[in-house]
Amino acid sequence: MVWRGYLDLPGELEGKLPRIVTEMMVALAGIVLAVGLRLVLDQFVPGVVPFAISFPIIAAATLIAGARAGAMVMMGCQLLVWYAVMPPQRSFAFESLAQAVSLLLATLSQIVMILAIAAYRGTITRLEAECRQRIADLSLALREIDHRTKNNFQLAVGLLEIQGRNSDDEVLRSGLNRAATRLQAIGGAYRNLALSSADLNAIRLRDYLEDMCERLREGLLSPAILLKLEGDPVTVPHEMAVRIGLIVNELVTNAIKHAFPQGIGVITIRLEDKGDALNLTISDDGPGFDPEKTADGLGTRLIAMLARQLRAKASVDSRQGTIRSFVIPSHPAGSP
């Protein structure tokens, strides 16, 4: 049962009981409660404020089961008050005109209250229906945008790959292929953004990197090179995930191409959530390299730029294999 400022008990039980039966049960319960409270009250102050108990019980019945239940409670309570509380008791006669006017005004007041509560219930129900329809419309539009955006990413990647395959220039072919993998990294962040959660600015980073690893395995890895992803599940802002993904894409691609002269090895990506920082490590078990002889290419400059944007502390150890580490604050500049 859901409380929305009122409770539609007949609607909740509609598959088990007819609506009118539920309304009658609520009305009967309200009348019995009113009688019980009146009996208790009459033990101390007989006949005092005859209509006082009826109002809250009628309001409660209307909120729980609707206007008909409230009307049934009202009729039952008013008849009982007229017969058993107002003098002369056990009679439907009036001692004076004032008594008749009092009963009439109380009944009219209760009718107005029932109508007001029914109008409130109807307004809430209508607003809920409108909200559900708007959510459905927005969900449909979002799915359509999501579908078209995925197709556009895939089309752009496919065009780059086709152009690379058709080029006779090895440098140009390599550049186009690298551009395609970078675009795939950005597209992967978008795909995981749609799947992440109710927060449309957050990405489950491990899921995103696993998706990227799977694509690298399919497109670049030979069976003799193992690519592993280890570490903690963590959710990060979209911009942060894209930058981390581009760093991982560059370093893994470099390791695949240059770290294993014999064509055999292991590349490991590890995530560690430290609360105030995220430790990212990309390592391989190749022979390592001499940092002084490393060319300052586009990939190296791109990694340095992305690390600066993340305010990450970057380090490299190439004595036994290559280990690149990044300590990334949990809330880098520009992130929420």
pLDDT digits 0-9 by tens, 182-200: 676 666 655 655 444 445 5
The pTM is what? Answer: 0.52
The DSSP secondary-structure symbol of 229 reads E
Q: Is the pLDDT of residue 336 over 50?
A: no
Give the model's pLDDT for residue 172: 79
8 Å CB contact between 114 and 66: no
In 3D space, the residue among 250, 259, 207, 196 whose CA is nearest the CA of residue 229 turns out to be: 207
64: left (phi over 0), alpha (psi -120 to 50) or beta: alpha
Give the model's pLDDT for residue 158: 73
Give the model's pLDDT for residue 166: 76
**Distance separating alpha carbons of residues 209 and 162, to the nearest angstrom:** 25
Among 2-16, 104-118, 236-250, 291-305, which range has the highest average pLDDT?
104-118
The DSSP secondary-structure symbol of 82 reads I
Second-level CATH architecture of 167-329: 2-Layer Sandwich (3.30)
Give the model's pLDDT for residue 26: 93
**Distance separating alpha carbons of residues 258 and 332, to the nearest angstrom:** 31
Q: Which pLDDT band, with edges at 50, 70 and 90, does 308 fall under?
A: very high
In 3D space, the residue among 313, 324, 302, 297 whose CA is nearest the CA of residue 242 turns out to be: 302
Q: Which residue has the higher pLDDT, 289 or 41?
A: 41
**Distance separating alpha carbons of residues 30 and 62, to the nearest angstrom:** 10
C-alpha distances (whole Å) from 71 to each of 112, 120, 258, 273 are 11, 16, 83, 60
Give the model's pLDDT for residue 24: 94
Domain ranges of the chain: 9-133, 167-329
Give the lowest-confidence range in 89-93, 195-199, 220-224, 241-245.
Answer: 195-199
Phi first, then psi, for residue 135 (nearest 5°) are -65, -40
Give the lowest-confidence range in 207-221, 262-276, 307-321.
Answer: 207-221
Give the model's pLDDT for residue 237: 87
